[in-house]
Structure 1
Amino acid sequence: MTETPPLVVDIDGTLTDETRAVDPRVFPVLSEWPEPVVVATGKAMPYPIALCEFVGIDYTVIAENGGVVFVEATDTLQIEGDKAACLAVAEAYRDMGYEMGFGEVDLANRWRETEVVVDLSQPEEPLRRLAEEHGLEFLDTGFAYHVTDASIDKGTGLDAVCAELGLEPADFLAVGDSENDAELFDVAGESVAVANADETALARADRVTEASYADGFLEAVEPYR
């Protein structure tokens, strides 16, 4: 059997179905993986922490597309990014008459520390234009629009994790589905896009699965099980 590498994996669209429900078949894969597992997501930190908690693995997470990194093994939290600029974009977007699109409570943004997100039901172009005017990155992950600091991404997040764990990004198998996984794919030793991935992720991956969503993840890791 091929030697098992450390694993870094996205959540939405990769461990889930199209409705963002996590497929329970991925739980034993993650909990039994013999090398470090990093959960890398565009979601705020409570979401990947909760996933790690209920799967029963160390809290080793990259959240907010690299803006927030936590490594339980070294009790290290790193927060990077120009949140003030992101909030300015959100304010300008609201002033134009648009909304974040997540309701009054807005759980999607409630715990964010480095970026803002807008629901896909809202107009894209005004948000993209405002992000560019503020020197920020605009990402369409297929589940939300993200406005984030252009200097951080999941690849820089993996660099930070590796610095804590004494590993190299090239040691990792990376599995994902979206343009916010592209920089992660660039630095990982092997990158796999699930079949439902967007064009950016497909182009940057070393291989592409035949199956989509969680089925694709299971296919991606099969050579190492």
Structure 2
Amino acid sequence: MTSDPPLVLDIDGTLTRTEGWGIDPRIFDPLLEWDAPIVIATGKAFPYPIALCHLVGVPELVVAENGGVVYTGDDVRFTADRAAAQAVAEEYRAAGYDLGWGPEDTVNRWRETELAVSRERPLEPLEAIAADHDLEVVDTGYAYHVKDRAPNKGDGVRTIADRVGFDPVEAVAVGDSTNDVSTFEVVGRSFAVANADEDAREAADEVLSEPHAEGTLAALERVRKRQV
């Protein structure tokens, strides 16, 4: 029997440094010492959370691309097809816009089920084109994600919990964005870091006073001390 509850953690805005991009290295040791499953649930492309698990030294339990890709530790499940999102990107380019990431586009290069567009690019035409393809655009605060309407992080967490063998209601989640709301809805306890958007703040059980990884570290300490 473990003393810690399962964790579900977002990456951007949740495990990152307060002053900018990049993982806050202080998060590594608490996660390595955690004696329950840790699910990394993110809007990033699949390789990024896998690499994070490798770097931290924890088992690979991953919900990527906002639920489009789910890795249960022994099989990869794709819950959407990138073809429709690719068609949206092509029409967006034909309308005179680019995705905003430069010619190599490492943001999208390894995406399997969706595409991300820089928030510096026009949103209104992107939403209109996406709607024509029955897709949605989700603003995570870091990018506009063009995705299938059905998949979400919460469903991915349920899939992993069923495969690994824990009850999602026993889990604690920390996030910062509207794409974390579905996760907050399936776990037993949820925290929004101080920099969270309004959707995440309203859905969370508690809004932390600290931002980014500072808030996550504070939440994990409280959880371990049974102060939730």
TM over 0.5: yes
- Matched-pair contact (CA < 8 Å) for 2:81–2:112: no
Structure 2 letter corresponding to 1:25: R
2:7 is matched with: 7
Task: Describe how 1:1-225 pairs up with structure 2 within 5 A.
Answer: 3-18=3-18, 19-72=20-73, 75-225=74-224
1:129, distance to aligned residue in structure 2 (A): 1.8
Partner amino acid for 1:102?
W
1:20-52 per-position Cα deviation (integer Å, ceiling 9, x unaligned): 211011001111111000111100111001110
Question: Percent identical across equivalent pairs?
Answer: 52
Counterpart-to-counterpart distance in 1, 2:187 and 2:135: 24
Distance in structure 2 (CA, Å) of the matches to 1:79 and 1:60:
14
Per the TM alignment, residue 161 of structure 1 is displaced from its structure 2 partner at its CA by: 0.5
Moved more, 214-223 or 106-115: 214-223
Post-superposition offset of 1:71: 2.0
User: Which string of whole-angstrom CA distances, capped at 9 and with x for unpartnered residues, describes residues 104-160 of structure 1?
Assistant: 010000000000000111111111222222211211111111011111000111011
1:211 match: secondary structure = coil
Query: 1:121 is paired with a residue of what secondary structure?
Result: coil
Q: Higher mean Cα deviation, 24-33 or 125-134?
A: 125-134
Q: Provide the TM-score with structure 2 as the length reference.
A: 0.94
Unaligned runs of 5+ in 1: none
The 4+ residue runs of structure 1 with deviation greater than 3 A are none
SS of 2:76's equivalent in the other structure is strand
Q: Distance in 2 between matches of 1:131 and 1:212?
A: 32
Q: Aligned with 2:52: secondary structure?
A: helix
Q: Between Structure 1 and Structure 2, how many residues are aligned? A: 221
Deviation at 1:224?
2.3
The TM-score normalised by the length of structure 1 is 0.95
Task: Provide the C-alpha distance between the structure 1 equivalents of 2:179 and 2:157, rounded to a whole number of angstroms.
Answer: 13
Query: Tell me, what secondary structure is at the counterpart of 1:17?
Result: coil
Q: Which residue identity is paired with 1:8?
A: V
Q: Secondary structure at the match of 1:108?
A: coil
Within 1, Cα distance between the matches of 2:143 and 2:124?
Answer: 14
Superposition RMSD in Å:
1.0
Measure the CA separation in 1 of the matches of 2:81 and 2:31. 32
Say which SS state the counterpart of residue 39 (structure 1) adopts. Answer: strand
Decide whether the 8 Å contact of 2:13 with 2:195 is kept in 1: yes
Q: Give, in angstroms, the shift of residue 88 of structure 1.
A: 1.1
Query: Take 1:186 and 1:137, find their aligned partners in 2: how far apart are those partners?
Result: 20
SS in 1 for 2:107: helix
